[in-house]
A = this chain, B = another copy of it.
Amino acid sequence: MKRIKLTVAYDGTNYCGWQVQPNGITIEEVLNKKLSKLTGEDIHIIGASRTDSGVHALGNVAVFDTTSTIPPERFAYAINQRLPEDIVVTQSEEVPMDWHPRYQDCIKYYEYHILNRSLPDPLKRLTTSHVSFPLDEAKMQEAANYLIGTHDFKSFCNIRTNTDDTVRTIYSLDVVRDGEEITIYISGNGFLYNMVRIIAGTLIRVGRGFYQPEQVKEILETKERTEAGVTAPPQGLRLAKIKYSSGTCSDSKVHDVNE
């Protein structure tokens, strides 16, 4: 028996998120089915990030155990032949049997992509969030700076979050404009349910002038979800990569905000 780690990229548009659920098809379910067929075993993968419906990933991570004789690094190729075009395994490798993608120290890198112009672009509608009102990215960055560091992010998570420990550390939070596109790059040791999208929604409010940048500090201190902005839509969000302290990284080709 050996444990295989997969790095997985996907377009989340047509999936009900990562995690297996009764009401629709998920990334995890497709991977379980295709890996089971490939190995002849009953495979149940364990994912690092259970991304929401419509959210994308370039470097999510998952593991599974197998007795298959397929060389570990060949799994990526073998499974890609069976996967639909919107899911691609970019890497496969063997890891120790006690290596678990959620119980290791890591840095997660997310990106939130905004198309900021009056008209929507049909070619970007599934990978960006369209904001037609002009956004002031300098003010967004000013607000973002209050969120960097270790804080109780209770104001910035979905009220259905099933954890009492809402303290997380954000290592970096950069708001970068490139013409009509604004990207929010965020890295941290872990994120609460909807946390990145609520941060994005709050920063968008700052960018529109509805909040002053320093109000974000107050919102953080109230620890009340109702004080923060709305949850920004899923299609703008992508999990860029996950970097484990063991040294492995799920993708090296993304904007490295923290290195």
Q: Residues of A at under 8 Å CB distance from B? A: 9-11, 56, 58, 85-88, 90, 119-123, 125, 127, 238
Q: How far is the CA of A149 from the CA of B170 in the complex (A)?
A: 56
Contact residues in B for A85 (Cβ distance below 8 Å): 120, 122, 125
How many protomers of this protein does the assembly include? Answer: 2
Residue contact A9 to B121, C-beta cutoff 8 Å: yes
Set B9, B120, B123: member contacting A122, Cβ < 8 A: B9
Shortest distance from the beta carbon of A85 to any chain B beta carbon, whole Å: 5
Q: A88-B119, A119-B88 are in contact. Are A11 and B125 (CB under 8 A)?
A: yes
Contact residues in B for A123 (Cβ distance below 8 Å): 9, 11, 56, 58, 127, 238
Set B11, B86, B122, B238: member contacting A87, Cβ < 8 A: B122
Shortest distance from the beta carbon of A118 to any chain B beta carbon, whole Å: 9
Residue contact B90 to A125, C-beta cutoff 8 Å: no
Q: How far is the CA of A125 from the CA of B121 in the complex (A)?
A: 17
Which residue of chain B is the closest to A10 with respect to CB atoms? B122
Residue contact B86 to A11, C-beta cutoff 8 Å: no
Contact residues in B for A9 (Cβ distance below 8 Å): 119, 121-123
Q: How far is the CA of A11 from the CA of B122 in the complex (A)?
A: 5
Q: How far is the CA of A86 from the CA of B123 in the complex (A)?
A: 7
